[in-house]
Amino acid sequence: MKALDELTFDNRFARLGDAFSTHVLPEPIAAPRLVVASPAAMALLDLDPAVAETPVFAELFGGHKLWAEAEPRAMVYSGHQFGSYNPQLGDGRGLLLGEVYNEAGEHWDLHLKGAGQTPYSRMGDGRAVLRSSIREFLASEALHALNIPTTRALCVIGSDTPVWREKQERAAMVLRLAPSHVRFGHFEFFYYTKRPEQQKELGDHVLAMHFPHCLEQPEPYLAMFREIVERNAELIAKWQAYGFCHGVMNTDNMSILGITFDFGPFAFLDDFDAHFICNHSDDQGRYSFSNQVPIGQWNLSALAQALTPFISVEALRETLGLYLPLFQAHYLDLMRRRLGLTTAEDDDQKLLEHLLQLMQNSGVDYSLFFRRLGDESPELAIARLRDDFVDIKGFDTWGELYTARVAREGEVDQQQRRKRMHAVNPLYILRNYLAQKAIDAAESGDYAEVRRLHAVLSNPFEEQPGMESYAERPPEWGKHLEISCSS
């Protein structure tokens, strides 16, 4: 395990130069203090978890100190926001402090969010508030625990620095980790500003750093784009399978690595609702839960347009055509596992759609249904779950189809079935009301609930004694919290 001053930097993106990012120093926040840290994320940097409690930890990630080898840069990019192209966005409140490589040879970007104004802040103050920083931290680590590709979060540092949003709040910083912070919007920026040399330099950098195996292919850029399509199809399949709503799927929030990126007004489904909109600023429902699948394809098409200088339109179209079949294959595979099925049948899609429609009509809790389905034999589980449905006759019909489907798989040891289903059906998810309770306590200076919730969500599939309240259905007030992009 390393101390903080033993990190090894190799700032590969910074070496691309001023066309790609701008040197900016973090603006320190007043009285920095640790809110929460992730030992699992710290392990990615080979850091001893004990260093999180030291004063220098809060000073480093609160903008007061900087490693001599760090090169803080604000990245420039553009992107389509709610379908409209915005020509210049960039890191308006975050800085890429540098890239650290660990003993396993992995490179990790250290990205400090809430680090102050940059040339890309526009009218913003460059700050992040405590509530949004806690939400990003919890979501990053919770998604990772669910085996959903995501950026990671090392820590949240709180402060006494006041910031104004709808009301006065306190500034905070969150340290985000990712192998790369390159977004679809990076390629769009150089494409639309007609800078082919820099665009190729960016593409070559991404290929060499993140897709080196594609360099062995006859058309490296096409091979890279195909992998980006594949990764995003699998990512969004996992979002849909676990009921995760991103809320702001702009192209500047899409990672070239196919990882969940930039947490704003996200939410996990409580009651199943395919039309759920988690962002109260999304008046048209562009980024509703069910729309995430076509929006994923739309965003990949926007990236494809930016790659037309390097790949033929015909090849791009053909590769984009892989997205929906790949999504459907990944999604159905995940949902079969959530239903406890180990084989594939042609009518499985219909069986799943029938269930989801019944859940939609009855407002059934999405996560708890699948968890309880694995608690007992199919017949007993169906008998217990039927009271959750308004259309009991309809659910009984589905239950008969489901138990017959399970029976066709042959003799099943119920203990093994329970273990297998519980390994993919979480008992604990990051419900908005749980996050809000932790935020309310943190804003009063009590960080115990944030840390407790993080610990529970770090092990979502295993029942944890004394944590029963974290697995309950939310109260009515908890189902209707409005979350915005404001942070």
Q: Quickly count: other Cβ atoms within 10 Å of residue 458's Cβ.
A: 15
Q: What is the DSSP string of 73-134?
A: EEE---EEETTEEES----SSEEEEEEEE-TTS-EEEEEEET----TT-TTS-S-EEHHHHH
Whether residue 252 lies in the annotated active site: yes
Q: Confirm or deny that 338 is annotated as ligand binding.
A: no
Q: Confirm or deny that 63 is annotated as ligand binding.
A: no
Q: Confirm or deny that 125 is annotated as ligand binding.
A: yes
Q: Confirm or deny that 363 is annotated as ligand binding.
A: no
Q: Confirm or deny that 126 is annotated as ligand binding.
A: yes
Q: How far apart are CA 252 and CA 86, in angstroms?
A: 10
Q: Confirm or deny that 431 is annotated as ligand binding.
A: no
Q: Confirm or deny that 176 is annotated as ligand binding.
A: yes
Q: Which long-range contacts (CB under 8 A, 24 or more apart) does 370-373 make?
A: 370/338, 370/339, 370/421, 370/425, 371/422, 371/425, 371/426, 371/427, 371/471, 373/339, 373/340, 373/421, 373/425
Contact call for residues 94 and 121 (beta carbons, < 8 A): no
Q: Confirm or deny that 12 is annotated as ligand binding.
A: no
User: Cα-Cα-Cα-Cα dihedral of 447, 450, 454, 455, to 10°?
Assistant: 50
Alpha helices in 321-457 (DSSP H): 323-338, 348-362, 366-373, 378-385, 392-407, 414-422, 432-443, 448-457
Question: Which one from 252, 270, 273, 388 is the annotated catalytic residue?
Answer: 252
Nearest to 21 by CA among 190, 149, 154, 177: 190
Q: Confirm or deny that 183 is annotated as ligand binding.
A: yes
Q: Confirm or deny that 93 is annotated as ligand binding.
A: yes
Q: Which long-range contacts (CB under 8 A, 24 or more apart) does 346-353 make?
A: 348/405, 351/398, 351/401, 351/402, 351/405
Residues annotated as binding site? Answer: 90, 92-93, 113, 125-126, 176, 183, 253, 262
Residues annotated as binding site for Mg(2+)? Answer: 253, 262
Residues designated as active site: 252
Residues annotated as binding site for ATP? Answer: 90, 92-93, 113, 125-126, 176, 183, 262
